[in-house]
Structure 1
């Protein structure tokens, strides 16, 4: 369901498959632990499942709020236009804008540049 790596000083969290409603809490908890363990490292979340459900969207938006509270930039990568629109619409306006990308290299470069 979840893996991570570090690329050019950016924490990359890959969500391989949607956890479904029953796995939402576990996904959110794992993402929280990774982000807190790597603060102040910028974060890119890679959503490889184009059919991600509300459970994944909810976990990603919670991670965005956490990153914002820590002053850490966060971006999301997905090739799914409907998923990008959904994330953009549901992102909390009280926090910095959630950056959405279609390519991993672009997202990592933007996070790396912003953190430098």
Structure 2
């Protein structure tokens, strides 16, 4: 469900499939564990097309809230415009650190790398 790699000092987590309603907490916990293990590295969560669902967005937002106190830059990338809008609207309402959402992975990695430098 979740793979990881380091790219130019950015932890890139890729969600490959929909966790479903019942898997949201597990996915959020996996994201948080990776962020905690690699902090203070910036984090990019890539949501692939099969995973571009409200359940994945919910898990990512939960992880983002949990990681907010660590001061870790977290961003997301997905081709799905509906999921991008959902993430942007929900993250704006959270009142915490802003979740930056990109349509392209390469630009997201460059932005995260540049912001952390």
Matched with 2:69 is 69
Q: What whole-Å deviation, never above 9, does each CA across 1:53-102 have from its counterpart, x for those lacking one?
A: 33211110122223321101111000111110011111144112211111
1:86 maps onto 2:59 in alignment: no
Q: Alpha carbon RMSD of aligned pairs, Å?
A: 1.4
Matched with 1:27 is 27
1:102 maps onto 2:99 in alignment: no
State the alpha-carbon separation in 2 of the partners of residues 26 and 67 from structure 1: 15
Query: 5+ residue gaps in structure 2?
Result: none
1:40 maps onto 2:40 in alignment: yes
Matched with 1:111 is 112
TM-score (norm: length of structure 2): 0.91
State the alpha-carbon separation in 1 of the partners of residues 74 and 7 from structure 2: 14
**Retained in 2: the 8 A contact 1:10–1:41?**
yes
Q: 1:90 to 1:65 in 2, by over 3 A?
A: same
Query: 5+ residue gaps in structure 1?
Result: none
State the alpha-carbon separation in 2 of the partners of residues 67 and 105 from structure 1: 23
Q: CA deviation at 1:51?
A: 5.8
State the alpha-carbon separation in 2 of the partners of residues 5 and 90 from structure 1: 27
Matched pairs, number: 116
